[in-house]
Amino acid sequence: MNEAEFLAAIRNLATDPAARGFADDAAVLGDLVLTHDMIVEGVHFLPDDPPEDVAWKLVAVNLSDLAAKGAEPVGCLLGYALGPAEWNAGFVAGLKQVLQTYPMPLLGGDTVRANGPRSFGLTAIGRAGHAPSRGGARAGDALYVTGTIGRAGIGLRLLSAGETGPEVEAYRRPQPRLVEGRALAPIVHAMMDVSDGLLIDARRMADASGLAVTIDLADVPVSGDPLEAVTAGDDYELLFAAPADVSLPMPATRIGRFAQGQGLSLVQAGSPVPLPASLGWMHT
Amino acid sequence: MNEAEFLAAIRNLATDPAARGFADDAAVLGDLVLTHDMIVEGVHFLPDDPPEDVAWKLVAVNLSDLAAKGAEPVGCLLGYALGPAEWNAGFVAGLKQVLQTYPMPLLGGDTVRANGPRSFGLTAIGRAGHAPSRGGARAGDALYVTGTIGRAGIGLRLLSAGETGPEVEAYRRPQPRLVEGRALAPIVHAMMDVSDGLLIDARRMADASGLAVTIDLADVPVSGDPLEAVTAGDDYELLFAAPADVSLPMPATRIGRFAQGQGLSLVQAGSPVPLPASLGWMHT
């Protein structure tokens, strides 16, 4: 049973409607929005990453899932594997910063000892009047994105090359779009956050909605090379479907359109462009 | 910052009343009860433990926390680190069994790849009309326990010696006392589950209540050696404080009494007995 088979088997167990078929950013139980993300040393962060930033990112990626469902943070539970003394102190400092910034109360959790690479988990709980799914886009809707895409990807490349720059902060300290998510939730047909890459996430929204989507590369607000930007992940901007003539409560950019059909197409100022080999980070 | 200092720092962050000062089995947010436990390969389970049992135990220990707060399971989120193909398949089978037995819907979670020892996390969410804390015992209350203490400890010793026996099942497949917890919640003054050992957990209840507690070893329903039984963990029975003359909705055994003062005392048919060097499993 490989990863894809495991995910299929797990999806089969998740028959409760609140699970949304494991196809959404979060579970939705009445007015509660629930999400759980894990990060693993050597996979999602490096042993020499500053522990303050690891704590920030662990919380921020979960808050981004709440943002994508238009939810207000209610609280979180932390699963922590103890590390070296100095690392623990840095983690607590970063945790305090991120929990006070948004803010989100820490309600509970568990602390364990571990040998070898450590793992952390966070469960974030939010409350939303209406939590838009990924799958609600309608033919004729426009596709929008908040902010700028690609800064976190540049930050990761800088770090991998042993360099530094202002984009490193974008990679290490993502800013979940909680205010925007709550403002958008009542007017969008579908919403999700851009965690694995703009192209792959847009295709997931189209697939979940049973539609085709076309993105115009010339319209995407990017940092750096456009094709690199739209296939890099970790931006944690919001991607949403809404009527093309909707009045938005905050700035966002129209980058594409949904239509009958299926799949993702890319154009550049209207002319077809071949899809890159990788659309982003694939889990399987 | 060692484990004790880390826990103190985390407790300082958890100022929301719903966190119950990190001193209870679970967080209590309105009528919701929330708990998160992690298990780590090589620490909480062994690489050659059957994956079906690892899944069972991961879910059961979290359900036991819900039981201790008189909560009905509402759903759970799973953090899973992929393992070998056969192991994944076994884990899913065990997960299906335990989720259908109690039952509790699987609502979401995360799957990661990990190098080295793997970690799993589970967040369980329940609903309770009234969730008794650990700290509500009153002077004069009796201390009660459900079921029999010590079977899981025998099971662990058998496994450690490479032997087998019926108690191995008690260790690997704990049966959370959900029905009993819901029946008891309205009439108890304090309740918790016995996860780390009867003596240490009873002392925690006394400490949280600002009282002294005396346990009569002759009254504790045990399997095997009484002193081994009351210091072994993993029984997942319910320990509760209630008036000595209360009418219980189900069978439980009176094993002690709370009084003004502090600390734990042990007697044997009324005569003082010295406390064992270790009262159970200590987290710090």
What pLDDT does residue B25 have? 81
Contacting residues of A for B9, CB less than 8 Å apart: 89, 92
pLDDT < 50 regions, chain B = 284
Domain residue extents for chain B: 3-127, 142-273
CB contact under 8 A, B16 and A82: no
Identify which of A35, A78, A95 has the shortest CB distance to residue B108: A35
Contacting residues of A for B113, CB less than 8 Å apart: 3, 40, 43
Which residue's structure tokens are 């804390």?
A: B133
Percent of chain A with pLDDT over 70: 99
| Mean of pLDDT values over A146-157 | 93
Query: Among A42-46, A97-101, B69-73, B256-260, which stretch is predicted with the lowest mean pLDDT?
Result: A42-46
Q: Which CATH superfamily is domain B142-273 in?
A: PurM-like C-terminal domain (3.90.650.10)
Q: How far is A96 from chain B (nearest CA, A)?
A: 7
Contacting residues of A for B74, CB less than 8 Å apart: 29
Beta partners for A10? Answer: none
What pLDDT does residue A282 have? 62
Q: Which amino acid is at A140?
A: G
Q: What residues contact B17, with CB distance under 8 A and at least 6 apart?
A: none
For residues A136 and A241, is the Cβ–Cβ distance under 8 A?
A: yes
Nearest CA in chain B to A17: B107
Q: How far is B255 from chain A (nearest CA, A)?
A: 29
What pLDDT does residue B42 have? 86
Structure tokens at B198: 């009867």
Q: Which amino acid is at A134?
A: R
Q: If we measure between CA atoms, which residue out of B248, B232, B210 comes closest to residue B281?
A: B232
Contacting residues of B for A8, CB less than 8 Å apart: none
Which residue's structure tokens are 């720092």?
A: B9
- Cα A68 to Cα A183: distance, rounded to the nearest angstrom: 11
CB contact under 8 A, B117 and A112: no
Tell me how crowded residue B148 is: count the other CB atoms within 10 A of its CB. Answer: 16
What pLDDT does residue B28 have? 93
For testing contact with chain A, the best of B76, B77, B111, B281 (most A CBs within 10 A): B77
Q: Do the first three CATH levels of B3-127 and B142-273 match, i.e. the same topology?
A: no
CB contact under 8 A, A85 and B38: no
Contacting residues of A for B126, CB less than 8 Å apart: none
| Mean of pLDDT values over A135-162 | 94
CA atoms within 13 A on the CB side of A91: 28
Beta partners for B240? Answer: B144, B191
Identify which of B2, B37, B85 has the shortest CB distance to residue A85: B2
What pLDDT does residue A284 have? 40
| Mean of pLDDT values over A44-57 | 91
Domain covering B3-127 in this structure, CATH number: 3.30.1330.10
